[in-house]
Amino acid sequence: MPIITLEGPPILEKAVRRSLVEELTRSAAKAYGLPEEKIIVLVRENAPDQVAVGGVLLADRP
Amino acid sequence: MPIITLEGPPILEKAVRRSLVEELTRSAAKAYGLPEEKIIVLVRENAPDQVAVGGVLLADRP
Amino acid sequence: MPIITLEGPPILEKAVRRSLVEELTRSAAKAYGLPEEKIIVLVRENAPDQVAVGGVLLADRP
Amino acid sequence: MPIITLEGPPILEKAVRRSLVEELTRSAAKAYGLPEEKIIVLVRENAPDQVAVGGVLLADRP
Amino acid sequence: MPIITLEGPPILEKAVRRSLVEELTRSAAKAYGLPEEKIIVLVRENAPDQVAVGGVLLADRP
Amino acid sequence: MPIITLEGPPILEKAVRRSLVEELTRSAAKAYGLPEEKIIVLVRENAPDQVAVGGVLLADRP
């Protein structure tokens, strides 16, 4: 039941998203010594006005 | 202040959603010995291209 | 793969913890129309100096 | 790398959102003794049918 | 019911922790236009072998 | 600032933990097109009485 949650900017290309969840799953399965079917990945995509770094929203960056 | 967070597929019927949050709240209030008004439930709904099991996005399942 | 995360004070009695995860699982399985084996519950227990309500740590409450 | 996650109702005014992330960042930087650029803020906005208090969805409140 | 979750290194001084949750609560109450008693803060403290930046655990930093 | 959070059983061997965070970081950096230094990984380890699958705590599994 290990769960990997990703928070990041939107991933627009489906192929990139597919490879990413495959790779994360493979790495986690190996580390935990569990079959890949036990690994869950949640992909959260944040809009630029939902994230701030250093007190500045990404949407306000020059 | 106990907080219950649900991650799952969308729950389309309002009646189902209402019963679910009622039941979760009742169970948690009983277990913690707290009044129901202290229990918060957050319902997160994930699209099928935001969740992968076994390295495969739910959106790609046959 | 629905995931229920609980944040609350420690639950000391094992029997209470067992009933709680059973009830939450049953409620979620019914609402999502999924078998119970698909439901994951994570129980997080917070110390009183890790939670504040109204700006006051629970550990500082009279 | 401290991360502050906010869960709350939507914040419609951009100026309010900006001040909020600035203030949270400043407070956290001071407490951790770290430069502000190290602080990340994530703002999550929940619809009224995604949150229940006391077993009642905010959308169902009178 | 807004909830602020902090993830960061341990905060050892109780006074610092108190001021931090007070300040975060005040900022959030103002932004949401809600009384401070509605604001919950959760403080999570991570050990240096539980956090990596740039692929390196904080515990392994020189 | 992408953030990867792992929830799983304890990872006892330091070398395994190191490789895991390295691999997750590399995969995420590639997918997001960002330098590895921007990727944060949080490793959460859950005790067997904090996780239930199918309504049964892992600690109660035969």
Q: A1 contacts in C (CB within 8 Å)? A: 40
At D49, the amino acid letter reads D
- Contact of E57 with chain B, judged by CB distance below 8 Å, is answered with no
CA-to-CA distance for A15 and A28, rounded, in angstroms? Answer: 20
The torsion region of residue C54 among left (phi > 0), alpha (psi -120 to 50) and beta comes to left
User: B7-24, pLDDT tens digit by residue?
Assistant: 999 999 999 999 999 999
E52/F21 CB distance under 8 A: yes
How is C2-60 classified by DSSP, letter by letter? -EEEEEES----HHHHHHHHHHHHHHHHHHHT--GGG-EEEEEE--TTSEEETTEEGGG
Q: List the single best residue of B49, B58, B60, B61 to mutate versus A (max A Cβ within 10 A).
A: B49
- What mean pLDDT comes out for the span B40-50? 97
A16/F31 CB distance under 8 A: yes
- Contact of A9 with chain F, judged by CB distance below 8 Å, is answered with yes
- How is residue E55 written in tokens? 């692929």
Model pLDDT, residue C1: 85
E17/D28 CB distance under 8 A: no
B8/C3 CB distance under 8 A: yes
- How is residue F55 written in tokens? 């309504």
- Contact of B12 with chain E, judged by CB distance below 8 Å, is answered with no
The domains located in chain F, with CATH, are 3-60 (3.30.429.10)
CA distances in angstroms from F53 to A37, C43, C60, D2, D16, listed in the order given: 14, 12, 36, 31, 42
Distance, in angstroms, between F47 CA and closest chain D CA? Answer: 24
User: E21-34, pLDDT tens digit by residue?
Assistant: 999 999 999 999 99
Q: Which residue in the set E38, E42, E45 is minimally distant from C7, CB to CB? A: E42
User: F14-56, pLDDT tens digit by residue?
Assistant: 999 999 999 999 999 999 999 999 999 999 999 999 999 999 9
Residue ranges, chain A, pLDDT below 50: none
Model pLDDT, residue E1: 85
Model pLDDT, residue C3: 98
Distance, in angstroms, between E16 CA and closest chain D CA? Answer: 6
Distance, in angstroms, between E62 CA and closest chain D CA? Answer: 17
User: D11-34, pLDDT tens digit by residue?
Assistant: 999 999 999 999 999 999 999 999
Model pLDDT, residue A6: 97
Model pLDDT, residue F53: 97
Whether pLDDT at F1 is above 90: no
Q: Give the residue from chain A lying closest to C37, CA to CA.
A: A1
CA distances in angstroms from E48 to B45, C20, E52, listed in the order given: 32, 32, 8
Q: Which residue in the set F14, F26, F43 is minimally distant from E50, CB to CB? A: F43
Distance, in angstroms, between B18 CA and closest chain A CA? Answer: 25
- How is residue A41 written in tokens? 């990945």
